[in-house]
Each structure stands twice: as C-alpha cells, then as structure tokens.
Structure 1
Amino acid sequence: MVYSLLKYLILGPWLRLIFWPKVEGREYVPATGPAILASNHLSFSDSIFMPLMVKRRVTFVAKQEYFTGRGLKGWLTKMFFVGTGTIPVDRSGGRAAQAAIDTGLRVLREGHIFGIYPEGTRSPDGRLYRGKTGVARLALESGAPVIPVVMLNSDVVQPPGKLLPKIKRVRIRFGPPMDFSRYRGMAGDRFIERAVTDEIMYELMELSGREYVDVYAQKVKSGQAKSGRSNPAEPSEPSQSSSAVAA
C-alpha cells in the first residue's frame, strides 16, 4: 500500500514532472516472472529514479537500522524505504552478504524483480569498478535473467556530497536480458561466478560508456579516506547491503 502510494501518487508523478526522465530499453524488463536488475551506482538517487521508471516493483535490501530510527526523522526514513520497495536485513555478525543473497533469492523465487549494485558501493569518481560475485550467485541459483541497467548522469543530477539534486533530465538505459542457463548447476564455483560477474560488468561498461577499473570501488574509497580525501557530507548508502554481496 505504502509502496503504491509513493510510486504512483506521490514520488513518481513529481519526479517525472521535475526531472522528465529519458528511459531507453525499458521494454527489456519482463512484464512477468523473476528478473535481476543489475545497475551501476553513481548517486544516492539511483535507488529512487531507477525503480520508479520500472512498471513493476523493484526490491532492494538495506541495513536494518534504516527501519528502526526513532522520532519523526526515523519514521520518515522508514516510510521512505518501505515505500521504495526496500527490505531490511540484519547486518550483525558479518552475515550481511548472505542475508542479502537469501532475501534476493526469496524475492526471485516469488516471481518478482530484485535490484542490485554489483560494485557494492557508489563509484567514487564516476568510473565503473569491479563487480562482486553476489549478482552471479543470485543468477545461477535462481535461474532468473539479468537485466543490465545504467544510470547515465545521476552523478551530475546529484553529485556525491550534495544532499539536494540539480534540476536536470535524468537518463537511464536498460540492456537486453542476459541468460546464464549454460552455467546451470555451477553456483558456488568461484571461477564461474567471477566469469558471470565480469560478463555483467562488461555489459554495464558497454551500455554506460564509462571507463572500467578492475579494482573494487570500496578499496579506492578506503584509500581516499586514509589519505584524507573522503567526503563526510556524502549521504548514506540506501542499498549498501544489497549491493555489497560477496566478493
């Protein structure tokens, strides 16, 4: 109920009016059945714009703390994530990756769409970074097709460190479904999972036109933090748990 209200009556119409999104390839998203939307990650707003441009509900996962805050701010935060189709996962005990995978598999087995950022975090500089293999595990265990999708300019619409977005046209591009049925029964093979992940990242590179860097984005961010070049004003990751799924 909350999801439908936000998407179709509140957020959706206003975002379309203000940012007039240009969406290419939306027909590649299946009308029914399970699918994995694998996206690059440039901005906090990715988890807002992309799901709202898909006719079906797109489910992400996020850390449980976003759903347990107190006061008006805590309630508004919870309503936002509930309204955007986000499911909380327990990140305690170092099981965030497995919890995200388990949740994703449940969503897919129920015939729905699961969204994931294979890079595991937002890009620190707009380039595309090495993918984590959780997306491959989801694809191989569920048998669902992977729909590559790229945010083309969300880092311009809402640059890192900026709370409020600029009024610019949002551009999103979906690619043809990727079928990995040739690897049926090979989930858990780390070489196969790496190959599948790299194939997905290559497609994201082709769709986006962004430079690819064969290093984990989090490693780059950690290096920046140690050298004093981190941005403390950058908004929190809304989908950190769903994206940081298994190296």
Structure 2
Amino acid sequence: MAELVYPPVIAVARTMFKALDLRFDIAGSEHVPRRGGAVLVSNHIGYLDFVFAGFAARPAKRLVRFMAKESVFKHRVSGPLMRAMKHIPVDRAQGEAAFGHALKALRDGEIVGVFPEATISQSFTLKKFKSGAARMAQQAGVPLLPVALWGTQRLWTKGRKRDFSRSHVPITIRVGEPITPDPEESAVTLTERLRGRVQELLDAAQRAYPAKPKGPEDSWWLPAHLGGTAPAPPATQAP
C-alpha cells in the first residue's frame, strides 16, 4: 500500500531542520536493515525524539512505526497523522493489544520504534528499561537496533518550553550493530544487555557532541555527572 502521508511529513520535518540549521552528526546508519523487521530502541530525552530516531533510518530508506501513548492518537491534529503513518497506539492499562499490533508489524517486515524508558528522562540519563522491546524481538524473531540521541533535549523537553528559535543546534545520533535475541535468554537479561549497549552509544554521542553550555544558566541540558544542572536521576533509576 502506498505511503501517502509519511513521506510528506518527513519532507516537512526536513524543511524545519533546514530552517533551524540543525547540525546533524549521524553514525552507524548502515546498521539499519534494508529489509525485514527490527525493533528500533532509543533513549528518550525530548518530545521530538521519534522524529530524530526515525531520521536515523532514512539512509536505509526505511520508515519506522513508533509505539506512542494513546492520548497522542486522540489529539485532533496529531491523531490523524499518527494513524495515517501507521504508528502504534499504546493504552498503558491494556498493553496486550499494542503488543500484538507491534508483533504483527514486525512479522510483516516493519521496523517498530520503542522508547523502553516509557517517559522522558528529565535527568537526561538512562532510566530503567521495560522489557517489552526485548520480548517483542524474541517473539517475532527479529533483531534489536540500539540508538542513542543527544542534543534533542535542547529543542523541546519535559518541564521546559519548546525553543525553536535556537539555530545551529547539533543533533548527534548513534546507531549500534543489531542485537540478535537468543530465544533461550530471559527477557530481563536481554533487556539489561540492550540497555548497556544504548548506554555505550549514549556515552559515545556525548563525547562527540561539539557544543558546550554558554554559562551556568545554559547548563540545564547537561546531566549532573557531566557538570550540568539537570536534575539528578532518582535512586531507583538503575537497571
């Protein structure tokens, strides 16, 4: 079936990126499979992360079907777009339907995008991962594709007003080698392995990031362990 909505939305996003003069540094996009199902797993630091994580798959000419909370699909503007782009609504009270929907998409050869932290990390460090992505990959027999984003929080994140007046903001994206699930491995262990790989990619993205805070008032987007003033992660955040 022809994709009538997704490509134009991508074109609008690319125009916005150009207008903002965002500086992209993408490495590892060759790891995105050219065909077949995969579960793309990314850290979550900003409201536009689904756009940037999906952007990482464009060199492979793949479209990513993201799992997102159901309220986004009920919005009068975003709802019709999300449905037309075949993203997957998640009712957190009844997650079985979304899980089944995602499994079908994976078995049909789609890439399904998941943010296993479930919500934006306001400390900009990795929160505990939920095991759904690992279980989906195991049951569908598809690889896990780890992705790390950095810099996206500077545009729009939880607890701060969106700021599209910024220009020249670097956006760093790192895509890791696919992880082939072992059907005999527990989902918990696989999830820990996946989280460790995303952490490695995030560390690499942060090391490569070319921008520094302009002063103490601009250090909000850096986590405490990197000298910033973002909130410290909760003690329960460890995997």
Q: TM-score range by the shorter chain?
A: 0.7 to 0.9
| CA deviation vs aligned residue, 1:131-188 (integer Å, no higher than 9, x gap) | 11111101110111111000022123334322234331211110011111xx3266xx
Give the letter for the 1:170 counterpart.
I
Confirm or deny that 1:201 pairs with 2:202. no
Matches within 5 A, 1:226-241: none
Percent identity, aligned pairs only, is 28
Give the letter for the 1:100 counterpart.
A
| CA deviation vs aligned residue, 1:53-73 (integer Å, no higher than 9, x gap) | 32211001233333334xxxx
Matching residue of 1:15: 17
Going from structure 1 to structure 2, the CA distance change for 1:158 and 1:65 (only over 3 Å counts) comes to closer
Residues 136 and 197 in structure 1, CA contact (< 8 A), matched pair in contact too: yes
Structure 1 range deviating more: 132-141 or 15-24: 15-24
Q: Separation in 2 of the partners of 1:158 and 1:65?
A: 19
Residues 61 and 87 in structure 1, CA contact (< 8 A), matched pair in contact too: yes
TM-score (norm 2): 0.74
Residues 155 and 163 in structure 2, CA contact (< 8 A), matched pair in contact too: no
Residues 147 and 173 in structure 2, CA contact (< 8 A), matched pair in contact too: yes
Q: Separation in 2 of the partners of 1:145 and 1:90?
A: 25
Confirm or deny that 1:179 pairs with 2:180. yes
Give the letter for the 1:95 counterpart.
Q
Q: Which of the pair has the greater relative contact order for Cα pairs under 8 Å at 6+ separation?
A: 1
Residues 41 and 145 in structure 2, CA contact (< 8 A), matched pair in contact too: yes
Structure 1 range deviating more: 202-211 or 44-53: 202-211
Confirm or deny that 1:95 pairs with 2:65. no
Matches within 5 A, 1:130-145: 130-145=128-143
Confirm or deny that 1:29 pairs with 2:32. yes
Q: How far apart are residue 16 of structure 1 and its match? A: 4.5
Give the letter for the 2:44 counterpart.
H
Q: How far apart are residue 26 of structure 1 and its match? A: 0.5
Q: How many residues align?
A: 200
Residues 57 and 85 in structure 1, CA contact (< 8 A), matched pair in contact too: no
Give the letter for the 2:27 counterpart.
E
Matching residue of 2:56: 53
Q: Separation in 2 of the partners of 1:83 and 1:3?
A: 7
* DSSP-derived class of the 1:129 partner: coil
Residues 40 and 149 in structure 1, CA contact (< 8 A), matched pair in contact too: yes
Structure 2 residue runs of 5 or longer lacking an equivalent are 207-222, 224-232
Structure 1 range deviating more: 110-119 or 19-28: 19-28
Residues 124 and 220 in structure 1, CA contact (< 8 A), matched pair in contact too: no
Q: Separation in 2 of the partners of 1:24 and 1:84?
A: 25
Residues 140 and 185 in structure 1, CA contact (< 8 A), matched pair in contact too: no
Matching residue of 1:39: 42
TM-score (norm 1): 0.72
Q: Separation in 2 of the partners of 1:16 and 1:197?
A: 36
Structure 1 residue runs of 5 or longer lacking an equivalent are 187-191, 212-218, 224-246
Q: Separation in 2 of the partners of 1:163 and 1:206?
A: 28
Structure 1 range deviating more: 192-201 or 146-155: 146-155
Q: Separation in 1 of the partners of 2:49 and 2:74?
A: 23
Give the letter for the 1:174 counterpart.
V
- What is the RMSD computed on CA atoms of the aligned residues? 2.6
Matches within 5 A, 1:120-131: 120-131=118-129
